[in-house]
Amino acid sequence: MQDFLIMNTLGYPILSLLVFLPLAGVIPLLLLKNDEVAKYSTLAATLLIAIVSLPLYFKFDKTTAMFQFGEHHAWIPMWDINYTLGIDGISLLLVLLTTMIMPLCVLCSWNYIKTRVRPFLACLLIMETSMLGVFMSLDFVLFYILWEAMLIPMYLLIAIWGGPRKIYASIKFFLYTLAGSVLLLVAIIALYLENGSFSIPMMMGQDYSSVFQIYVFLAFFLAFAIKVPMFPFHTWLPAAHVEAPTAGSVVLASVLLKMGTYGFLRFCLPITPEATITFMPYILWLSIAGIIYGGFTALAQSDMKKLIAYSSVGHMGFVTLGIFVLNVHGIEGALLQMINHGITTGALFIIVGMIYERTHSRELSMAAGVGKFMPIYVTFLGFFSLSSLAFPGTNSFIGEFLVLAGAFSKSKIIAACAIPGAILAAAYMLRMLQKVVWGEEHNPDQSYLKDLNVREILTLAPLLVFVLWIGLNPGPFLDVMHTSVANLIQQVGIAGLEQQNFIEIAKLVIPQ
């Protein structure tokens, strides 16, 4: 087969199974009439998918940068469009993150969603199919179809089950993301005409002219920067997060945002390396702007969901910073930080959803002082807040540390500018923690609140395990990405050597 793909040897098509199992999970929803049974069936389906995805980690070959568990079938021969799936060290953890998060999304919607339960669950499952497909597909058309198709269930999740301003938020989300990706399609076709194939790995490492690379890069960048979202394309995010139901927010924060940064890693860096080096300084400064801006805005929020949404803008700023410093520490840190953000922010949204189910408000002042009545709840909140502010011993510390280490070796000034972001994170998270746990002198009467039940504890516990696991022993997670990241750096680095003049320009914008 092709030289970039190691075909699947497990005896069963594991990647296709992962993509289509969620769709199969939709079928019982069409037949069942009972909402309770539908919930259990969906939970079973998502758990099954999570279990099926486990061999990916254990059978993964860490020594090669090639795509593994490959599958290849002709799809539209006329345009040389194929159904090609495969994962490498960059996508492996994101696939696992997705399969792990989805059962928790079902659990956290158990009582939250009261109307039209079965369509809601169907939307979640269709989301899972397209999200997994995006991370696995090695054909650009397949990628684009899944990338766009995801908008529909996500739109419906916000528009039907969302909060009071759901119409505004859902339309804004849809328009922003769609407008960003129309030029991506043009870039994809242009790449096809250069290569004669839509295969993503075959587009890497080609000698495109500089001008061509710059156009393609800009089209990529617009699509992915909106998805991440990078400052100044972030304005859809707070609206969408605030209005979405808990599960929608979790999916959005944990997986959808990662698609943007995944796009940078998978497409921008290896396909258009020269342009990446040209634009690197500007993107680094945009990342810094996002970190600082997200931090300050989060500090000013009184709505808990908005606070976490803006903290996402800051955290994702760290991720793009790590990607575009273009060294091993930076990119590995960014990848790990993507996973961390998925775990921690997902958990925080679940936590806010839990208090919302009880008080029917997301206002910080309404949730003040619940610590006395909900000790288990605030314990979880405490851990996840610490993780969010990158406290040593938690997962985010490792990620942020690696990103900053990478940034320091690139430019001390850039790194120095990012540091206030870490301090701001501590400020806004501790502010929230303090308010929720102790509140002020006169808190609203919280005595009617019940602490978490078993289902809710089971929702949060797995995430907490990963917070501490990655925080204390990140080795197993970093090992799997190492070869692929090194290969990626090499792909960009070769182009960088040829492009000394770009580096000269870069030096002007980035003070050493």
Report the sign of the C-alpha dihedral through residues 224, 230, 234, 238, in that order. positive
Task: Using the minimum distance from each CB to other proteins, give the nearer residue, 166 or 258.
Answer: 166
* Least distance in angstroms from the C-beta of 251 to other proteins: 18
Residue with tokens 């019940």: 450
* Least distance in angstroms from the C-beta of 152 to other proteins: 6
Task: Using the minimum distance from each CB to other proteins, give the nearer residue, 6 or 171.
Answer: 171
419 to 121, 334, 487: CA distances (angstroms): 41, 16, 29
491 to 203, 266, 267: CA distances (angstroms): 12, 11, 12
* Least distance in angstroms from the C-beta of 148 to other proteins: 5
Which has the closest alpha carbon to 260: 297, 239, 288, 229?
229
Task: Using the minimum distance from each CB to other proteins, give the nearer residue, 90 or 125.
Answer: 125
Task: Using the minimum distance from each CB to other proteins, give the nearer residue, 148 or 451.
Answer: 148
* Least distance in angstroms from the C-beta of 229 to other proteins: 17
Q: Which residues contact 508 (CB under 8 A, 6 or more apart)?
A: none
Task: Using the minimum distance from each CB to other proteins, give the nearer residue, 156 or 252.
Answer: 156
Q: Which residues contact 33 (CB under 8 A, 6 or more apart)?
A: none
* Least distance in angstroms from the C-beta of 338 to other proteins: 25
Q: Which residues pair with 83 in a beta bridge?
A: 73
Q: Which residues pair with 199 in a beta bridge?
A: 139
Which has the closest alpha carbon to 102: 50, 66, 51, 179?
50
249 to 106, 155, 345: CA distances (angstroms): 12, 12, 9
| Positions that interact with other proteins (CB under 8 A) | 75-79, 141, 144-146, 148-149, 151-152, 155-156, 159-160, 166-167, 170-171, 174-175, 178-179, 182-183, 185-186, 189-190, 192-193
Task: Using the minimum distance from each CB to other proteins, give the nearer residue, 108 or 126.
Answer: 126
Task: Using the minimum distance from each CB to other proteins, give the nearer residue, 189 or 289.
Answer: 189
**How far is 7 from 300, CA to CA, in rounded Å?**
51
Task: Using the minimum distance from each CB to other proteins, give the nearer residue, 126 or 286.
Answer: 126
* Least distance in angstroms from the C-beta of 126 to other proteins: 10
Task: Using the minimum distance from each CB to other proteins, give the nearer residue, 74 or 458.
Answer: 74
Residue with tokens 């060294």: 327
Task: Using the minimum distance from each CB to other proteins, give the nearer residue, 145 or 426.
Answer: 145
* Least distance in angstroms from the C-beta of 136 to other proteins: 16
Task: Using the minimum distance from each CB to other proteins, give the nearer residue, 144 or 384.
Answer: 144
* Least distance in angstroms from the C-beta of 248 to other proteins: 14
In the chain, the amino acid numbered 158 is I
Displacement of CA 456 from its chain's centroid (Å): 23
* Least distance in angstroms from the C-beta of 467 to other proteins: 36
4 to 316, 335, 356: CA distances (angstroms): 30, 21, 48
Displacement of CA 480 from its chain's centroid (Å): 18
Let me know: does 332 contact 478? Beta carbons within 8 Å: yes
In the chain, the amino acid numbered 323 is I
512 to 133, 139, 325, 407, 408: CA distances (angstroms): 41, 39, 13, 11, 10
**How far is 71 from 110, CA to CA, in rounded Å?**
36
What would you report as the CA-atom Rg of the chain, rounded to the nearest whole angstrom?
22
**How far is 394 from 388, CA to CA, in rounded Å?**
9
Task: Using the minimum distance from each CB to other proteins, give the nearer residue, 67 or 161.
Answer: 161
* Least distance in angstroms from the C-beta of 258 to other proteins: 20
* Least distance in angstroms from the C-beta of 147 to other proteins: 8
7 CB neighbour count, 10 Å cutoff: 13
Give me the half-sphere count of Cα atoms (radius 13 Å) on the Cβ side of residue 199. Answer: 24
Task: Using the minimum distance from each CB to other proteins, give the nearer residue, 202 or 284.
Answer: 202
Displacement of CA 349 from its chain's centroid (Å): 14
* Least distance in angstroms from the C-beta of 181 to other proteins: 9
Residue with tokens 């492996």: 92
* Least distance in angstroms from the C-beta of 127 to other proteins: 14
Residue with tokens 């996002």: 290
Phi, psi values for residue 161, rounded to 5°: -105, 15
